[in-house]
Amino acid sequence: VLDSFEIEGPHGVHPCILYPPAGVDILDYMQCLEGGSLPENLLRVTIRFMLIALDYLHGANVIHTGGYSKTA
């Protein structure tokens, strides 16, 4: 856990936990591929699994953000 905190919202106080990315992120993986981009067949599978993961998180009432960024 990198950090934890609470945020007060309209429905009460919500605990927040910040984790580092798990494993290789998609940008690192894409840099290893010829042309630096995902071929269509991998892109379709990647998007499908991302949507399945987001649906699971929403069903578990987990809030997610894309706050992680790399700096050069």
pLDDT for residue 61:
83
Identify the CA nearest to 14 among candidates 70, 72, 61.
Answer: 61
Please state, in angstroms and rounded to a whole number, the distance separating the CA atoms of residues 19 and 15.
Answer: 13
- Intervals of the chain under pLDDT 50: 71-72
Q: What is the pLDDT of residue 71?
A: 46
**What pLDDT sits at residue 65?**
67
Q: How far from 57 is each of 28, 30, 47, 65, CA to CA, in Å?
A: 24, 25, 15, 11
